Each structure stands twice: as structure tokens, then as C-alpha cells.
Amino acid sequence: MVKKVKISLKDTSYHIHIGNNLLTKINNFHKNRFNDRPKILTYDKNLSETPILSVIRKKLGSSTRSIAIEPGEKSKSMAALEKLYNNLIKAGVDRGTVIYVFGGGVAGDLVGFAASTILRGVDYVQIPTTLLSQIDSSVGGKTAINSKYGKNLIGSFYQPSLVLIDIDTLKTLSERQMKSGYAEMIKYAIINDLSFFKWLEKNGTNILSKNNSYLEESIKKCVISKAKIVSLDEREKKQRTLLNLGHTFAHAFEKKSNFTQMTHGEAVSVGIVLAAKLSCKLKYCKEVESNRIENHLKSLKLPTELKHLFSKNIKATSLIESMKLDKKNYNNVIRFILIKGIGKAFICDKVEENDLKNFLTENGAT
């Protein structure tokens, strides 16, 4: 059965459809939402030979032009963006065109940003193919590319017109990528849903083993949670900032690894653990809460320490310099999302730099 979640915003609204076998009906979704408007399909090049991509091409019709996107974080760059612009123009994009993007978070972020700016904005549809992109980056309209100074520093808020989450796309996803998505999943529970955290403690292994019913339920819970937050704060002025739990640390880790040594979710996993520990150190939450989060991630063999991400020592001062460029910062103050307990996240901008340096050193930095 297809689950449908509505995102309701001040200026627009759209639906997220969750279920199995959705993409065999993609032409029906297109006609219902866009009538007979022309379309262009963009896709992660790693998915070129997948049967599902063949189905999408067939269903969208022979007149639909296709554009491959190089895989990996390197595609979230100005060079890749310019190449995509040129390919879209060559493919005949106009203001009536609907751009479809089939892939994970990198493809979704890049194509979403291109859709928001080419011809001053055209409609696009997200078809996320990883657990992480299904529960996070495909929902809410944040699009971005990276700068040499940090992750997602160049971007826009631009909502998709439709999101199709087909759980069948996860069948071939690697264990590492499933765990990467799980790190973002547990984030929602820690932010504002203790009961979901308890549910994940019982069912995390079922999710990672791709048990269909548990996957569908957990994805739906995350999408509904994010939909509520985005509806309250589309432009990330207050509540939506909470969705960055663990990310102040994680984005610094990714930057220092040149976006190559770790997945985003692996960086977030360690970032969440450090956010919980920092909350404990600053007396915002009890140690038992911090330990509970860390132990759950450890039980599923997700990374929880800096040494799990970096083969060599990483300097605390270097990490802090990267954190200073984080897009959440305000008035040159590093902002963290910390917790007062599981399900009780809050925005904190009162961490002194020297205390942060000592904390990072205590937790594996040099």
C-alpha cells in the first residue's frame, strides 16, 4: 500500500509517496501532476545499468532526454553544475519542462540546485535511491553544492514538485550505505521522539536487514517528522536547525577528509555521539542518555569515534576552523545542536572555543 505524506508550506505544497513498485507507475504520477508537460531525466551514472532505470526510461517515453551525472561528492561542485546546465540546455529545457532526478543525495542536491536556478526555476521531481536520501535530503527543498571552504555552502531553498520514494531501490544498496542512512534516521528520534528511539532500539537490525515492513514504517516516520518541521520553518530560521544534530561536527569531518574517506552518514554517526557527549560535559543531559545513544550505534556497528573515520591523527584546531565556516553559524559563533535528553534537542551557541578544543582532544583529536 502506498503511503502519502503532504508537505504544506506558505507558498507551495506537494506530496511524498512511499511504497514498493512505485516507479512502474511513474508515467501515471507524471500525468496526474503535470499533464503532458515535457520531461528530462537525470540520473546517477552508477545506476546506468539498473533494471529500475530501464523501467523509468520506458515509462517516461522515448521523447524524454536523459543526462548522466558522475557519482560521488565531487559532483557537488561549480564545474559539475556548469556541465549540468549546459546539458539541460542542449536537451531543450524550457520553463514547462519537469526535471526528474534518480539517485542519492549528491544527485538530488545538484539537480535540485540546477532546477532552482536554470531559467529562474523549473519544476523537478525527486526519486531518491538511498536510505539517507529517502528520509532526509529529498524532503524539504534544501539544495546545494560544496565550496572548497566547506559542505553545502552554495545553495537554495527550492521545493520539489513531487517525491517518489520506492523502497525497491534499496534492494541492491550496500550494508555501508544502509548504515549511513540509519545514522540520519536515528537523528529524528534523538531530536524530538523518544518513543521512536525506543522502537529503533528494538528494530534497528530489521531495518538494516531490509525487512520491507520495518523499512516502510521507519521511512514514513522520518518523512512525517521532517514534514512537520519544514512546514513550521521552511527557511531554517529556528526549528529546522535542529535537523542538523551532529552535523556541525560531521561537516568538519567531511571537509578535513576532502569528502573522500567517509560517507556522510558515517560522519553524522560520530557527530551525533560527540554532540551527546558534549551535552553531557556541559551538564545539559545525563551521562546515561549519552551512553544509550552511543551504545545503540555501537550495537549496529556504526562508527562512534574519530579513529573510526580518520586513519591519521586529526587536529582539534583544524576541525574548529572548519566548524567556523558552518552555514548554521550566526554572528561568527559556532552553533551546535545539543540535547537535554533523548527527544529533547536544542540550539546552543554558548560553547567556548577553548572548551571545544579540550573536548575534541579528550575525544581523539590532537
| Active site amino acids | 120, 142, 184, 226, 236, 240, 244, 247, 251, 264
Joined together, the cell numbers standing for residue 243 give 535537523
Whether the CB-CB separation of 100 and 124 falls below 8 Å is answered with yes
Question: Smallest Cα–Cα separation from 139: which of 155, 162, 122, 117?
Answer: 162
Torsion sign (Cα): 285, 246, 191, 204: negative
Residue 153 phi/psi, 5° resolution? -80, -15
Give the H/E segment covering residue 147.
strand 142-147
CB 111 within 8 A of CB 80: no
Amino acid at 219: I
**107 neighbors 75 (Cβ within 8 angstroms):** yes
**Residue 223 in grid coordinates:** 518523512
Taking Cα atoms as reference points, which of 311, 323, 327 lies closest to residue 360?
323
DSSP string, 212-246: HHHHHHHHHHHHHHHHHHHHH-TT-SSGGGGGGTT
